[in-house]
Copies of this chain bind each other. A is one copy, B any other.
C-alpha cells in the first residue's frame, strides 16, 4: 500500500519506531487528482505539503504575457508545495497541477509544526530534504547562467530520465526555459557545434 512509500522516503534520513510511524501516518490526508486538476492555484494560500505516491504533478507560474514557466516536476516519491506561501501563509503565485491521474498524501502546515515539536527527528528530516532541494535549486540557477539551451536540455534528460520519458516535451521546454519550437529544432540537430 501507498503509505509504505512515504515511510521508505522518510527512513532515508531518520529512523522512526512503530509508534512514531503510526502517529505520523495518522496525520496524512490521502487525495487523488484527475489529470489537469489543481492542488493549488495562483492566489491561494498553501496550507499543505504534498508527497506524491502515483502519477506526476508540476508547479508553474504564468507570466504577464500568459506564458507558463515550470519550476518543478513531482513524480512519485517527491515532495511538492508552494514553499513561499506555505512559510508566509500569504497568497502564492504557483499553480500545482496533476499532469496525469495522480495520488498524493497531504500534511498540513499545522501538523507539520506539531510534528517538529512532538517528534524532533522530523525537524531533522525536513531540514535535510530542504537542504537537498536548495542545492538542486542553486545548481539550476548556475546552469541557467552558464549553459546554453542545448546543454540545459541534455542535462535535464540525463538527470531526470524518468520524467523525460513520461511528459510532453513542451513541458521540458518550459522547464529549461526555451520555446517548444526551439527545443524541437535542437533535437533535430540544431546547435550542431558541440
Contact = CB atoms under 8 A, between A and B. Distances in A.
Given A130-B130, A142-B61, A83 B135 contact: yes
A61 B106 CA distance: 38
A101 interface: no
A145 interface: yes
A121 B123 CA distance: 10
A120 B139 CA distance: 29
Which 5 pairs show the lowest CB-CB distances between chains A and B?
A127-B127, A63-B146, A69-B145, A137-B137, A134-B134
A45 to B, nearest CB: 15
Contact of A71 (B93, B130, B133, B142): B142
Interface string A65-94: 001010100000000000110010000010
Count the copies.
Answer: 2
A159 interface: no
B137 A141 contact: yes
Contact of A141 (B64, B71, B93): B71
Contacts of A93: 142
A138 interface: yes
A146 B87 contact: no
A187 interface: no
Contacts of A182: none
Interface in A130-166: 130-135, 137-142, 144-147
B177 A144 contact: yes
A124 interface: yes
Contact of A130 (B84, B120, B131, B141): B131
A134 B130 contact: yes
A139 B92 CA distance: 11
